[in-house]
Amino acid sequence: MDNSVLVENDVARPEAKTSVKATTAAPVLQVRNLEVTYYTDAGRAKALDDVSFTMPAGQKMGMVGESGSGKSTLALAMMRMIKEPGRIEQGEVVVDGTDLISLNEEDMRRARLSKIAYIPQGAMNSLNPVMRIGAQMVDAVQSHLPNEKAAAINERCMHSLASVDLDPKVFRMYPHELSGGMKQRVCIAIGILLHPQVIIADEPTSALDVVTQRQVMETIDRVQAKINAAVILIGHDMGLMAQFVDRVAVMYAGRLVEVSSVREMFTDPKHPYAQALISSLPNLENKGVFQGIPGLAPSLLRLPSGCAFHPRCSKVMDICKTKRPEATILPGDRSVMCHLFDGEA
Ligand code: SF4
Protein backbone atom coordinates (compact mmCIF):
# COMPACT_ATOMS: atom_id res chain seq x y z
CA MET A 1 0.00 0.00 0.00
CA ASP A 2 1.43 3.37 -0.79
CA ASN A 3 1.87 6.12 1.73
CA SER A 4 -0.89 8.26 0.30
CA VAL A 5 -3.41 5.67 1.41
CA LEU A 6 -1.79 5.51 4.80
CA VAL A 7 -1.99 9.27 5.21
CA GLU A 8 -5.57 9.39 4.03
CA ASN A 9 -6.50 6.65 6.44
CA ASP A 10 -4.74 8.07 9.47
CA VAL A 11 -5.22 11.76 9.75
CA ALA A 12 -5.16 11.23 13.48
CA ARG A 13 -3.02 8.49 14.99
CA PRO A 14 -5.41 5.63 15.63
CA GLU A 15 -6.18 4.24 19.02
CA ALA A 16 -4.46 0.91 19.39
CA LYS A 17 -6.58 -2.02 20.52
CA THR A 18 -6.74 -2.17 24.28
CA SER A 19 -7.84 -5.78 24.73
CA VAL A 20 -4.83 -7.94 24.04
CA LYS A 21 -5.22 -11.67 24.19
CA ALA A 22 -3.00 -13.47 26.67
CA THR A 23 0.15 -14.85 25.15
CA THR A 24 0.61 -17.53 27.80
CA ALA A 25 -1.73 -20.01 26.05
CA ALA A 26 -0.03 -23.01 24.43
CA PRO A 27 1.30 -21.92 21.04
CA VAL A 28 -0.41 -23.28 17.95
CA LEU A 29 2.42 -21.88 15.82
CA GLN A 30 6.12 -21.98 16.60
CA VAL A 31 8.60 -20.59 14.08
CA ARG A 32 12.14 -21.40 15.10
CA ASN A 33 15.40 -20.11 13.63
CA LEU A 34 13.94 -19.83 10.13
CA GLU A 35 16.51 -18.82 7.55
CA VAL A 36 16.10 -18.22 3.79
CA THR A 37 18.87 -17.30 1.34
CA TYR A 38 18.59 -16.31 -2.32
CA TYR A 39 21.59 -17.35 -4.43
CA THR A 40 21.78 -14.78 -7.22
CA ASP A 41 24.42 -13.95 -9.83
CA ALA A 42 25.15 -10.81 -7.82
CA GLY A 43 25.78 -12.82 -4.65
CA ARG A 44 24.01 -14.36 -1.64
CA ALA A 45 21.10 -12.47 -0.13
CA LYS A 46 19.93 -13.63 3.28
CA ALA A 47 16.25 -12.70 3.10
CA LEU A 48 15.29 -14.26 6.45
CA ASP A 49 17.83 -14.39 9.22
CA ASP A 50 17.17 -16.57 12.25
CA VAL A 51 13.49 -15.65 12.61
CA SER A 52 11.72 -17.10 15.66
CA PHE A 53 8.30 -16.37 17.18
CA THR A 54 5.29 -18.17 18.61
CA MET A 55 1.55 -17.55 18.46
CA PRO A 56 -1.33 -19.01 20.46
CA ALA A 57 -4.61 -19.93 18.77
CA GLY A 58 -6.90 -16.97 18.28
CA GLN A 59 -4.19 -14.33 18.19
CA LYS A 60 -3.71 -11.79 15.41
CA MET A 61 -0.23 -10.52 14.71
CA GLY A 62 0.63 -7.68 12.37
CA MET A 63 3.90 -8.06 10.47
CA VAL A 64 5.22 -4.68 9.38
CA GLY A 65 8.35 -3.26 7.79
CA GLU A 66 9.52 -1.56 4.61
CA SER A 67 9.40 -3.29 1.22
CA GLY A 68 12.14 -5.88 1.01
CA SER A 69 12.35 -6.37 4.78
CA GLY A 70 11.40 -10.05 4.45
CA LYS A 71 7.69 -10.07 5.33
CA SER A 72 6.51 -11.87 2.19
CA THR A 73 9.55 -14.16 2.23
CA LEU A 74 8.55 -15.21 5.74
CA ALA A 75 5.02 -16.06 4.54
CA LEU A 76 6.35 -18.03 1.55
CA ALA A 77 8.86 -19.88 3.73
CA MET A 78 6.13 -20.85 6.20
CA MET A 79 4.10 -22.22 3.28
CA ARG A 80 7.21 -23.93 1.79
CA MET A 81 6.65 -21.93 -1.38
CA ILE A 82 10.13 -20.40 -1.73
CA LYS A 83 11.22 -20.77 -5.35
CA GLU A 84 14.72 -21.09 -6.84
CA PRO A 85 17.15 -19.37 -6.49
CA GLY A 86 15.83 -19.15 -2.92
CA ARG A 87 16.40 -21.87 -0.36
CA ILE A 88 15.18 -22.53 3.18
CA GLU A 89 18.53 -23.06 4.86
CA GLN A 90 17.30 -24.09 8.28
CA GLY A 91 14.52 -23.73 10.81
CA GLU A 92 11.18 -25.17 11.86
CA VAL A 93 7.58 -24.08 11.32
CA VAL A 94 5.59 -26.11 13.82
CA VAL A 95 1.80 -25.95 13.47
CA ASP A 96 -0.09 -27.82 16.15
CA GLY A 97 2.87 -30.12 16.79
CA THR A 98 3.79 -30.82 13.13
CA ASP A 99 6.97 -29.35 11.67
CA LEU A 100 5.98 -28.30 8.14
CA ILE A 101 9.59 -27.93 7.00
CA SER A 102 10.26 -31.64 7.54
CA LEU A 103 7.12 -32.91 5.74
CA ASN A 104 7.43 -34.60 2.36
CA GLU A 105 5.92 -32.77 -0.64
CA GLU A 106 2.61 -34.67 -0.60
CA ASP A 107 2.05 -34.16 3.13
CA MET A 108 2.94 -30.49 2.74
CA ARG A 109 0.41 -30.15 -0.09
CA ARG A 110 -2.23 -31.55 2.25
CA ALA A 111 -1.13 -29.25 5.07
CA ARG A 112 -1.68 -26.18 2.90
CA LEU A 113 -5.25 -24.99 3.43
CA SER A 114 -5.94 -27.62 6.11
CA LYS A 115 -3.27 -26.57 8.64
CA ILE A 116 -1.98 -23.31 7.24
CA ALA A 117 -3.60 -21.05 4.65
CA TYR A 118 -2.03 -18.23 2.70
CA ILE A 119 -3.98 -15.40 1.14
CA PRO A 120 -1.35 -13.88 -1.16
CA GLN A 121 -0.98 -10.25 -2.10
CA GLY A 122 -3.42 -9.46 -4.91
CA ALA A 123 -5.26 -12.75 -4.25
CA MET A 124 -8.49 -11.34 -5.62
CA ASN A 125 -6.83 -11.00 -9.03
CA SER A 126 -5.78 -14.64 -8.97
CA LEU A 127 -9.35 -15.94 -9.11
CA ASN A 128 -9.92 -17.77 -12.40
CA PRO A 129 -12.02 -15.32 -14.51
CA VAL A 130 -13.76 -18.06 -16.52
CA MET A 131 -14.81 -20.26 -13.60
CA ARG A 132 -17.74 -19.63 -11.26
CA ILE A 133 -16.75 -18.88 -7.69
CA GLY A 134 -18.45 -22.08 -6.52
CA ALA A 135 -16.46 -24.26 -8.92
CA GLN A 136 -13.21 -22.73 -7.68
CA MET A 137 -14.19 -23.39 -4.08
CA VAL A 138 -15.27 -26.96 -4.82
CA ASP A 139 -11.93 -27.61 -6.60
CA ALA A 140 -10.04 -26.41 -3.53
CA VAL A 141 -11.96 -28.75 -1.22
CA GLN A 142 -11.82 -31.75 -3.57
CA SER A 143 -8.04 -31.50 -3.88
CA HIS A 144 -7.83 -32.07 -0.11
CA LEU A 145 -10.88 -34.21 0.59
CA PRO A 146 -11.32 -36.36 -2.54
CA ASN A 147 -13.79 -38.69 -0.80
CA GLU A 148 -16.11 -35.97 0.49
CA LYS A 149 -19.64 -36.17 -0.97
CA ALA A 150 -20.72 -33.37 -3.34
CA ALA A 151 -23.52 -32.26 -1.02
CA ALA A 152 -21.13 -31.96 1.93
CA ILE A 153 -18.64 -30.01 -0.18
CA ASN A 154 -21.36 -27.60 -1.33
CA GLU A 155 -22.51 -27.14 2.24
CA ARG A 156 -18.94 -26.44 3.35
CA CYS A 157 -18.56 -23.82 0.59
CA MET A 158 -21.88 -22.14 1.46
CA HIS A 159 -20.94 -22.05 5.11
CA SER A 160 -17.62 -20.48 4.23
CA LEU A 161 -19.29 -17.81 2.06
CA ALA A 162 -21.72 -17.04 4.87
CA SER A 163 -18.80 -16.68 7.31
CA VAL A 164 -17.43 -13.83 5.22
CA ASP A 165 -20.88 -12.25 4.85
CA LEU A 166 -21.38 -13.09 1.19
CA ASP A 167 -24.76 -13.96 -0.27
CA PRO A 168 -25.17 -17.64 -1.29
CA LYS A 169 -25.79 -16.51 -4.86
CA VAL A 170 -22.09 -15.54 -5.08
CA PHE A 171 -21.49 -19.31 -5.43
CA ARG A 172 -22.97 -19.17 -8.95
CA MET A 173 -21.27 -15.92 -9.98
CA TYR A 174 -18.10 -15.16 -11.94
CA PRO A 175 -15.29 -12.99 -10.49
CA HIS A 176 -16.04 -10.08 -12.87
CA GLU A 177 -19.53 -9.78 -11.36
CA LEU A 178 -18.06 -8.99 -7.92
CA SER A 179 -16.54 -5.82 -6.47
CA GLY A 180 -12.91 -5.79 -5.27
CA GLY A 181 -13.98 -6.13 -1.65
CA MET A 182 -16.27 -9.07 -2.46
CA LYS A 183 -13.50 -10.81 -4.39
CA GLN A 184 -11.14 -10.36 -1.46
CA ARG A 185 -13.79 -11.87 0.83
CA VAL A 186 -14.12 -14.82 -1.57
CA CYS A 187 -10.36 -15.36 -1.21
CA ILE A 188 -10.76 -15.34 2.57
CA ALA A 189 -13.68 -17.80 2.24
CA ILE A 190 -11.43 -20.13 0.19
CA GLY A 191 -8.67 -19.72 2.78
CA ILE A 192 -10.92 -20.91 5.62
CA LEU A 193 -12.66 -23.77 3.77
CA LEU A 194 -10.73 -26.39 5.74
CA HIS A 195 -10.51 -24.45 9.00
CA PRO A 196 -6.72 -24.03 9.11
CA GLN A 197 -5.07 -23.32 12.45
CA VAL A 198 -2.87 -20.61 10.94
CA ILE A 199 -3.87 -18.02 8.32
CA ILE A 200 -1.37 -15.69 6.67
CA ALA A 201 -2.87 -12.73 4.81
CA ASP A 202 -0.35 -10.74 2.73
CA GLU A 203 -1.52 -7.15 2.26
CA PRO A 204 -5.19 -8.21 2.33
CA THR A 205 -6.45 -4.66 1.91
CA SER A 206 -4.08 -3.31 -0.75
CA ALA A 207 -5.81 -1.79 -3.80
CA LEU A 208 -9.07 -1.39 -1.86
CA ASP A 209 -10.68 1.89 -0.88
CA VAL A 210 -10.60 2.95 2.76
CA VAL A 211 -14.17 1.85 3.57
CA THR A 212 -13.68 -1.55 1.91
CA GLN A 213 -10.35 -1.98 3.70
CA ARG A 214 -12.15 -1.73 7.02
CA GLN A 215 -14.86 -4.17 5.91
CA VAL A 216 -12.25 -6.72 4.83
CA MET A 217 -10.39 -6.35 8.13
CA GLU A 218 -13.64 -6.78 10.04
CA THR A 219 -14.33 -9.92 8.00
CA ILE A 220 -10.92 -11.34 8.92
CA ASP A 221 -11.61 -10.44 12.54
CA ARG A 222 -14.95 -12.27 12.58
CA VAL A 223 -13.71 -15.31 10.70
CA GLN A 224 -10.71 -15.60 12.97
CA ALA A 225 -12.91 -15.49 16.06
CA LYS A 226 -15.13 -18.20 14.58
CA ILE A 227 -12.42 -20.76 13.77
CA ASN A 228 -9.94 -19.57 16.45
CA ALA A 229 -7.02 -19.50 14.03
CA ALA A 230 -3.77 -17.67 14.61
CA VAL A 231 -3.69 -14.93 11.98
CA ILE A 232 -0.65 -13.14 10.59
CA LEU A 233 -1.49 -9.93 8.77
CA ILE A 234 1.29 -8.60 6.60
CA GLY A 235 1.09 -4.95 5.67
CA HIS A 236 2.51 -1.46 5.61
CA ASP A 237 -0.44 0.34 7.14
CA MET A 238 0.35 0.62 10.83
CA GLY A 239 -2.82 2.64 11.39
CA LEU A 240 -5.12 -0.07 10.09
CA MET A 241 -3.12 -2.74 11.92
CA ALA A 242 -3.43 -0.87 15.21
CA GLN A 243 -7.16 -1.36 15.22
CA PHE A 244 -7.23 -5.07 14.43
CA VAL A 245 -4.18 -6.95 15.72
CA ASP A 246 -3.12 -8.09 19.21
CA ARG A 247 0.62 -8.01 18.61
CA VAL A 248 2.94 -6.29 16.16
CA ALA A 249 6.18 -7.75 14.77
CA VAL A 250 8.58 -5.34 13.07
CA MET A 251 10.93 -6.72 10.41
CA TYR A 252 14.11 -5.09 9.20
CA ALA A 253 16.60 -6.62 6.76
CA GLY A 254 15.23 -10.13 7.29
CA ARG A 255 15.18 -10.04 11.09
CA LEU A 256 12.37 -9.57 13.60
CA VAL A 257 13.75 -6.54 15.39
CA GLU A 258 10.83 -6.07 17.79
CA VAL A 259 7.74 -8.03 18.80
CA SER A 260 5.37 -6.34 21.25
CA SER A 261 1.70 -6.10 22.09
CA VAL A 262 -0.04 -3.57 19.88
CA ARG A 263 -0.57 -1.18 22.78
CA GLU A 264 3.08 -1.28 23.85
CA MET A 265 4.24 -0.91 20.28
CA PHE A 266 2.19 2.24 19.80
CA THR A 267 2.78 3.81 23.21
CA ASP A 268 6.34 2.71 24.01
CA PRO A 269 8.19 1.20 21.05
CA LYS A 270 11.67 0.03 22.05
CA HIS A 271 13.68 -0.52 18.88
CA PRO A 272 14.83 2.72 17.23
CA TYR A 273 13.45 1.51 13.88
CA ALA A 274 10.06 0.71 15.46
CA GLN A 275 10.16 4.17 17.09
CA ALA A 276 10.84 5.75 13.69
CA LEU A 277 7.96 3.79 12.11
CA ILE A 278 5.55 4.92 14.82
CA SER A 279 6.64 8.54 14.71
CA SER A 280 6.30 8.50 10.92
CA LEU A 281 2.54 8.09 11.40
CA PRO A 282 0.65 11.34 11.00
CA ASN A 283 -0.99 12.46 14.23
CA LEU A 284 -2.75 15.47 15.68
CA GLU A 285 0.49 17.05 16.96
CA ASN A 286 2.26 16.95 13.63
CA LYS A 287 -0.98 17.92 11.87
CA GLY A 288 -0.89 14.99 9.46
CA VAL A 289 2.54 15.90 8.07
CA PHE A 290 4.27 12.73 6.94
CA GLN A 291 7.73 12.23 8.46
CA GLY A 292 9.92 9.74 6.65
CA ILE A 293 12.71 7.59 8.06
CA PRO A 294 16.12 8.89 6.95
CA GLY A 295 18.09 6.78 4.48
CA LEU A 296 17.03 3.74 2.50
CA ALA A 297 16.46 0.13 3.45
CA PRO A 298 19.76 -1.69 2.82
CA SER A 299 20.31 -4.13 -0.04
CA LEU A 300 20.24 -7.68 1.29
CA LEU A 301 23.29 -8.34 -0.93
CA ARG A 302 25.34 -5.77 0.94
CA LEU A 303 24.08 -5.52 4.50
CA PRO A 304 25.87 -3.07 6.78
CA SER A 305 28.14 -4.68 9.38
CA GLY A 306 26.89 -5.16 12.94
CA CYS A 307 23.32 -3.91 13.30
CA ALA A 308 21.90 -3.55 9.78
CA PHE A 309 19.99 -0.44 10.91
CA HIS A 310 23.09 1.39 12.17
CA PRO A 311 23.60 3.77 9.18
CA ARG A 312 20.04 5.11 9.74
CA CYS A 313 19.85 4.93 13.52
CA SER A 314 19.75 8.11 15.60
CA LYS A 315 21.03 6.20 18.66
CA VAL A 316 23.91 4.36 17.01
CA MET A 317 26.86 3.46 19.29
CA ASP A 318 30.33 2.13 18.42
CA ILE A 319 29.36 -1.46 19.20
CA CYS A 320 26.46 -1.27 16.72
CA LYS A 321 28.86 -0.96 13.79
CA THR A 322 30.69 -4.21 14.52
CA LYS A 323 28.46 -6.52 16.59
CA ARG A 324 25.11 -7.87 15.51
CA PRO A 325 22.52 -7.53 18.29
CA GLU A 326 20.67 -10.64 19.42
CA ALA A 327 17.11 -10.82 20.76
CA THR A 328 16.53 -9.64 24.32
CA ILE A 329 13.30 -10.73 26.00
CA LEU A 330 11.79 -7.86 27.96
CA PRO A 331 8.99 -7.97 30.56
CA GLY A 332 5.53 -8.29 29.04
CA ASP A 333 6.65 -10.97 26.56
CA ARG A 334 8.33 -8.42 24.34
CA SER A 335 11.45 -9.08 22.33
CA VAL A 336 13.84 -6.54 20.87
CA MET A 337 17.11 -6.82 18.91
CA CYS A 338 19.13 -3.77 19.84
CA HIS A 339 22.32 -3.16 21.84
CA LEU A 340 20.51 -0.49 23.87
CA PHE A 341 18.82 -3.39 25.69
CA ASP A 342 21.79 -5.73 26.11
CA GLY A 343 21.70 -7.13 29.64
CA GLU A 344 18.14 -5.98 30.31
CA ALA A 345 16.55 -9.40 29.97
FE1 SF4 B 1 20.48 1.57 16.71
FE2 SF4 B 1 22.53 0.22 17.71
FE3 SF4 B 1 20.08 -0.47 18.39
FE4 SF4 B 1 20.99 -0.94 15.94
S5 SF4 B 1 21.74 -1.87 17.82
S6 SF4 B 1 19.00 -0.11 16.46
S7 SF4 B 1 22.26 0.86 15.59
S8 SF4 B 1 21.09 1.47 18.87
* Tally of domains in the chain: 2
Same domain, 145 and 229: no
Cα 167 to Cα 196: distance, rounded to the nearest angstrom:
23
pTM of the model: 0.87
Would the CB of 311 count as within 6 Å of ligand 1?
A: no
CA of 72 to the centre of ligand 1 (A): 24
At 238 the pLDDT is 81
Q: Max CA-CA distance within the chain?
A: 67
CATH of the domain at 275: 3.40.50.300
Same domain, 175 and 66: no
Reported as a single tens digit per residue, the pLDDT across 299-313 is 888 999 999 999 999
Same domain, 213 and 154: no
Same domain, 249 and 180: no
Residue 244 lies in a domain: yes
At 6 the pLDDT is 31
Structural domain harbouring 232 = 3-115+196-298
Residue 319 lies in a domain: no
Same domain, 87 and 227: yes
Cα 65 to Cα 42: distance, rounded to the nearest angstrom:
24
Same domain, 188 and 287: no
Would the CB of 325 count as within 6 Å of ligand 1?
A: yes
CA of 279 to the centre of ligand 1 (A): 17
**What are the CA-CA distances from residue 68 to residues 3, 5, 283, 298 (Å)?**
16, 19, 26, 9
Question: From the alpha carbon of 319, which atom of ligand 1 is closest?
Answer: 2
Residue 315 lies in a domain: no
At 242 the pLDDT is 86
Same domain, 287 and 205: yes
| Residue closest by Cα to atom 3 of ligand 1 | 338
Residue 326 lies in a domain: no
Would the CB of 320 count as within 6 Å of ligand 1?
A: yes
At 52 the pLDDT is 96
Reported as a single tens digit per residue, the pLDDT across 67-97 is 889 999 999 999 999 999 999 999 999 999 9
Would the CB of 253 count as within 6 Å of ligand 1?
A: no
**What are the CA-CA distances from residue 197 to residues 98, 159, 226 (Å)?**
12, 18, 11
Residue 122 lies in a domain: no
Would the CB of 270 count as within 6 Å of ligand 1?
A: no
Question: Among 258, 266, 246, 264, which residue's Cα sits nearest to residue 59?
Answer: 246
Query: How confident is the prediction along the chain (345 residues), in pLDDT tens digits per residue?
Result: 333 333 333 333 445 554 444 445 679 999 999 999 999 998 999 999 999 999 999 999 999 988 889 999 999 999 999 999 999 999 999 999 999 999 999 999 999 989 999 988 777 778 999 999 999 999 999 988 889 999 999 999 999 999 898 999 999 999 999 998 899 899 999 999 999 999 999 888 877 788 888 888 888 888 888 899 999 999 887 888 888 999 999 999 999 999 999 999 999 999 999 999 888 776 656 555 556 777 788 888 899 999 999 999 999 999 999 999 999 999 988 999 999 999 776
Would the CB of 272 count as within 6 Å of ligand 1?
A: yes
Same domain, 54 and 133: no
Beta strand pairing status for 334-337 and 255-261?
Answer: antiparallel
The 27-40 sheet, strands edge to edge: 43-56, 27-40, 86-95, 98-99
CA of 306 to the centre of ligand 1 (A): 9
